[in-house]
Amino acid sequence: MKKEVRKRKWPKLLLGTFGIMAIIVIGALIFVNGYIGKSVPVTSGEIDLEVLDADVTVIRSEIGVPHIAADSDADLYRAQGYVQAQDRMFQMDLSRRQASGRLAEAVGADAVNTDKFFRTFSLRDAAEKSWEGYDEETKRVLEWFAEGVNAYLQEAKENRSLSYEFALLGYEPEPWTPIDSLAIGKFMAYDLGGNWSTLAIRHFALNEFPEDKAKELFIDYPDHAPSIIEENKNQQVAVAGRFDASLLPPEFNGSNNWVVAGDKTASGLPLLADDPHLGLSTPSIWYQMHLKSPEQNVSGVIFAGIPGIILGHNEDIAWGVTNVGPDVQDLYIETPNPVDPTQFLYEGEWEQAEVRDEPIAIKGQEAEPFEVVVTRHGPIISNVIYEEEDPEALFSMQWTALEPTLELQAVLKFNKAGNWDEFEAALEDFQAPAQNFVFASTDGTIAYKANGRIPIRKWGDGQLPVPGDSAEYGWEGYVPFDELPTLVNPEEGFIATANNEVVDDSYEYHITDFWAQPYRYQRIAEVLEASDNLTKEDMMALQMDQQNLYAREFLENMVNAVRKETDQHEEVLDMLMEWDQVDSPDQAAPLVFHKWMKQLPKTILADDFPKDVYKLLPGKNHITDEMMRQAFGGHEGVWVSEYGGVGKWLSDALDTSLREIEQDFGDDFKSWEWGDYHQLTFPHPLGGASPIFAQFLNPEPLPVGGSNITVQAAAFNAEGNVNHGASWRFVADLSDLSSAYHIVGPGLSGHVKSDYFHNQVDDWAEGNFHETPIDSAIEGSSLILNAD
């Protein structure tokens, strides 16, 4: 018998109520959809733009790359400002606010500590000082760019078509200024040039642990500097409870780049590849563009809010960067006057510091008073967020980026350079952050320079904080430009960098002791050395390479150490030994290996540090890697011996890692996959405010391979979210510079309803590159910006 299905009868009142609610919800959705749709960038047709001298054409390709063609540089940069603002105005506004310490004005009291931090780090102050040093041509470019941004803002306000984020936060952006662009540039120097926290942690370690234990936390312990060590012990600065680790740049900020000479390529001319590793977000930190005027024809990427092209190519040359990571931030132990805390001891006298009154404006509240105190060395950073009453000692920070620097002047010269001599001359203006530049030109030249201001110290090598009360310490200039590491047309036929050590012991000057782990560089060199017939397709494939050389170095010894300690986990250990050491998303071994490696520092170090100090501790795996090397070589260090030996340490860490994996993915290790945990995310800044926003603004997570130590850079957080990696991929074949090959995940537009919002997420995961031409063969939607 067929079961009767009875229809539920709702009371008429409820039916009517539900109907009204449905109409309201549908109406609200239609309104919201229409409202948001008003701010979608206009990419075709015509727009009148009063600031232009002549008409400008903007063609957006099928993936959203704007190709801007103008009759003059003035109109080119005006149009660049306008187009960037169309796609990225909210991002641009947040960027200038963060760099300037003005987020709380827009988002409220939760951002006050962030604002205090960046006011203290003085990025906007440094931008204002840099403006004075720029030549008139660069100042004009900044002004033209600002005119274009402001033309968009005026139009959007008049048409009530500002991006919806401004309505959500309840404010309108202010007019754009040239200093805003320079402040964003200074923020990138902050993101790429920090080592102050390393010095603070070393200072803490010397005062917290016996010297033999503290020594193992250094990459290279300064045995030659006992007086500095004693100074750090005698005058202790509070570290625990004083700093917010969440405001530090990501530890894995770095990059890969390489350039191959024509002798090793199929075409007989060079190949160049670059993929900068930064935070992965919606929208991308990069904005890809093509700029063309009678004076230049250049293509590549730039940070939203800045004119020009910082990385890319023109008709004659191509270039890319990785982070050098030199020691460009020094901490000084300052002694404040107990009577007047704005005075500090120097050469036996109390010296008055500069005091900047910088009240923090807060949305919906009264401004909070705040002062930035700046000694002769730099700003006091110890008590930015967590105040300390009557401290006996504080840290101040000296940093190259806080001085007037001229990066944008260099960038604009890159765009028009035609050979290595012109490009290298432009590099002299690129001062902070220090970058490894690789270069190739159509004349066959390949070259490299580690470029930027690298301090020469009066005493010591910057591994520890130094006394601020003595003239014996400080900087006495920078490594001369002509003596920076440089290489042109080497016999090996290629040059590659991956934040690895770029000098040997014979180099006269100190750069740093804190280089990246060598595995990405070693893999790149391994592949490039193996062929003399390389193609652009080989370069793209290498950028997606998932070979794990970290496991090659350590895994066998790790497994053997555990087997000597215990008979547990035999099947899992067998699986690890049979693994091909490729971080592919469909294998279990990468999941076990990486969870295990991440657990090692927690197991041996975390309990001995306050939680906030442990979070600040940089290079945790650098430290435990060296502990393993010593132990496997028969020389167990103090930390390992006190723990109970290398076998116990590794076994305990593996136990913890496997328990965590089993909780998330079950106890059948044969069903585990790296991609189930390791998933690509491009979070939007508003996505964390609400699950509803996240649903609309963040792309669906995707399983991906690679890791933080493979050439396919895909660093991940504790939840497995891949939130850091190749923010842009770029390959150029110098045999044909009429185009090049790119991926910018998740897409080029910052607008949720744009076709270019998340259209490159799958491409990023799969390595699907897009060809971007700079010749006349450009197709797409056409927008004419009409001069009035």
Three-class secondary structure of residue 234 per DSSP = helix
Please give the Cα distance from 404 to 29 (Å, whole number).
50
- Catalytic residue, from 100, 255, 284, 396: name it: 255
DSSP 42-89: P-SEEEEETT-SS-EEEEE-TT--EEEE-SSHHHHHHHHHHHHHHHHH
Would you say 404 and 132 are in contact if contact means Cβ atoms under 8 Å apart? yes
**81: Cα within 13 Å, side-chain hemisphere:** 29
Planar angle of CA 316, 318, 322, nearest 5 degrees: 160
Would you say 285 and 303 are in contact if contact means Cβ atoms under 8 Å apart? yes
- C-alpha pair distances (Å), 121 with each of 94, 126, 374, 776: 17, 9, 10, 46
Please give the Cα distance from 65 to 79 (Å, whole number).
14
Q: Is 330 annotated as a binding residue?
A: yes
Q: Which H or E element spans position 20?
A: helix 12-38
Active-site annotation holds for 776:
no
Please give the Cα distance from 297 to 38 (Å, whole number).
33
CB atoms within 10 A of CB 293: 19
Q: What is the 3-state secondary structure (H, E, C) of 359-391?
A: CEEECCEEEECCEEEECCCCEECCCCCCCCCCC
3-state helix, strand, coil in the chain (%, to 5): 40, 20, 40
Please give the Cα distance from 687 to 638 (Å, whole number).
45
Please give the Cα distance from 533 to 513 (Å, whole number).
36
195-233 burial: b if 16+ Cβ within 10 Å, else e = bbbbbbbbbbbbbbbeeeebbbbbbebbeebeebbebbe
Which of 60, 263, 62, 256 lies closest to 734 in space, CA to CA?
263
Question: Which contacts of 368-375 are long-range, i.e. CB under 8 A and separated by 24 or more positions?
Answer: 368/112, 370/116, 370/119, 372/119, 372/120, 372/122, 373/341, 373/342, 374/122, 375/332, 375/334, 375/344, 375/351, 375/468
Name the one residue in this structure whose structure tokens are 């990486």. 594
Which phi and psi (to 5°) does residue 658 adopt?
-70, -35
Which phi and psi (to 5°) does residue 275 adopt?
-145, 95
Residue type, 166: F
Work out the burial of residue 341: count CB atoms within 10 Å of its CB; fewer than 13 is exposed, 13-18 middle, 19 or more buried. Answer: middle
Residue type, 388: E
Roughly what angle, to the nearest 10 degrees, separates helices 73-100 and 123-131?
A: 150
Q: Is 763 annotated as a binding residue?
A: no
Please give the Cα distance from 592 to 551 (Å, whole number).
11
What DSSP designation does 305 have? T
Radius of gyration of the chain from its Cα atoms, rounded to whole angstroms: 28
Please give the Cα distance from 450 to 432 (Å, whole number).
12
> Active-site positions?
255
Q: Which residues are annotated as a binding site for Ca(2+)?
A: 327, 330
